[in-house]
Amino acid sequence: MAVVTGDSEPADFPHDPLLPWLLSIKKALEEWKSGNSISVEDLDKLLSACIATFKHNAKYHNDTRFLKIWFLYLEGREDFDDVYREMEENKICLDHSLRYEWYALFLEAKGKWQDAHKVYQIGISRKAEPLDRLKGAQTLFFDRMSERIRAFSPHEICSGDSIQFGKSSINPWSSSTMKDILKKMNPQITKYDGYHSSNKAYSGKVPISSLKNSSRNKIIEIGGKKYLIKGCAGQGGFAQVFKAYVDSNPDDVVALKIQKPAFPWEFHMYRQLDKRISGHHRSSFGFAHRMHLYSDCSILICDYLPQGTLQDVINSYVVMGKSMEEVLCMYYTIEMCYMLEALHGVGIIHGDFKPDNLLIRYAREELTEEGFADRSGPWNDQGLCLVDWGRGIDLLLFPENTEFIGDCRTSGFRCIEMQEKKPWTFQVDTYGLCVVVHMMLHNSYMEVEKKASFDGGYIYLPRSSFKRYWNVDLWKDLFTKLLNVSPGSDNKILLRDLRNSFQDYIYSTPQLLKKLKELLAKQRASLCTA
């Protein structure tokens, strides 16, 4: 779910009748996601009642929180076009670019590409703000459409223009590159423990195509086991993730990632993580148990973490009109630096580093002061878990010092090198880290600007200013170094030094460590739905 940016005026919460509705909807969503008693119909009724209550109130016509309620309601409706027409009639956020960007992405996911194009055009013609953001989203849309056209072009596939690994710059996500890699790696992938392949289409009693976001209590059979679907835990452009009970046992919960067309690459990345990441760090990157590959789809069976994502944590502050406490921002920054330090050190790039893909982990035992510095004891179980490895890059499959070209096409997370059409490597991840930190600090995506430096050159820095009461030196050092990585610099050492600077600051101030423990306990009590 998208973060609500700070476009609307801060609400005067004691006199804000929308706030209780937001809290009720947030609670209902948490109960629905956890498989509790609330049904999709109950959630729809709550959203519909909220819309009916405030749609004629001009105070909320430009409130992005109310816009989000409309889209939550719209996403579950067959008559979504009628709902959007009603938004138009009530002039809901007509001047906000988010309105057009969200609806265009929704239409694109449904395959209504021409309609999505029209939505972008309407928003731009109305000069919806921020206009540059909307135009950027439209450009990415055009890029995705071009990629789809090329992917289905027989000429592209047969012309012999596939990228050779001998080249110094490669698009790791292009259809030709992935085709070459999978062909090369197929003998190894088929030998992985838990890999099951069939030349036939999935033929279970319940068709995979019948599973929707609202699907519950359907049973699908995979590899001799039955999985009771308890709800949709996430959705992307080509895949859906469902929470499921193995053989209807509520104590044995897994995540089923169903992807069309079949895509075994993510399973390769998980098995490489098993091989390369030490036991101390391994729990930070998710586990895959099995992969079932069919001619029409693939089903990846993974651990299920019910505590939500870092995006959920950020949104919990946004909906209250607050910002995350600085010490909590520092803690999650330390965790992310740990992750990328471990990954990049063994030749792995995640490629899609964003808060939706960072699951929350909680310690089984109470946190203490001991163990924070070296992540031992309960602190080893506490933190984040990076998932969704479909865009992962295995550097060991490429010549040494290979640089990459290509665009991740994720709005808000395109590194500077992608924006300027320059080659990149680890920047795709470290830029993502900077965006996540910016979202925690400012409740908004990061915009970068080029500034003159003392040596007569220039550097990139976030456009948003730092608050005076923050530890400005630490944050400025992080953004300056990660947004301006020197060619040939050791990425692992850079991340380690940044991590140590934040960690030493917290550890040297006992009251900060105490406050951190209290905030994590409070977060768990308010957000954990397990």
Phi-psi sector, 456: left (phi>0), alpha (psi -120 to 50), beta: left
Is 227 in contact with 241 (CB distance < 8 Å)?
no
Question: What 3-state DSSP class applies to 365?
Answer: coil
DSSP for 406-430, please give it: -----TT---HHHHTT--BSTHHHH
Q: Is 82 a catalytic residue?
A: no
Hey, which residues does 361 pair with through a beta bridge?
Answer: 383
Give the pair of three-digit tokens for residue 377: 């004891």
227, with CB counted inside 10 A (0-12, 13-18, 19+), is: buried
Buried b (16+ CB within 10 A) or exposed e, 132-148: ebbebbbebbeebeebe
Q: d(Cα 151, Cα 49) in Å, to the nearest integer? A: 44
Give the pair of three-digit tokens for residue 328: 């909590």
Using the structure block, give the residue that is written with the tokens 């470290």: 430
Q: Which of 312, 352, 356, 429 is catalytic?
A: 352
Q: d(Cα 387, Cα 236) in Å, to the nearest integer? A: 13
> In angstroms, what CA-CA distances link 490 with 46, 119, 141, 344, 494?
52, 44, 34, 10, 6
CA angle 430, 433, 437 (to 5 degrees): 145
Phi (first) and psi of residue 326, to 5 degrees:
-60, -40
DSSP-assigned letter for residue 227:
E
Neighbours of 523 (CB within 10 A): 21
Q: d(Cα 380, Cα 377) in Å, to the nearest integer? A: 6
Is 162 in contact with 179 (CB distance < 8 Å)?
yes
Q: d(Cα 408, Cα 61) in Å, to the nearest integer? A: 33
Q: d(Cα 238, Cα 258) in Å, to the nearest integer? A: 9
Q: Which residues are tagged catalytic?
A: 352
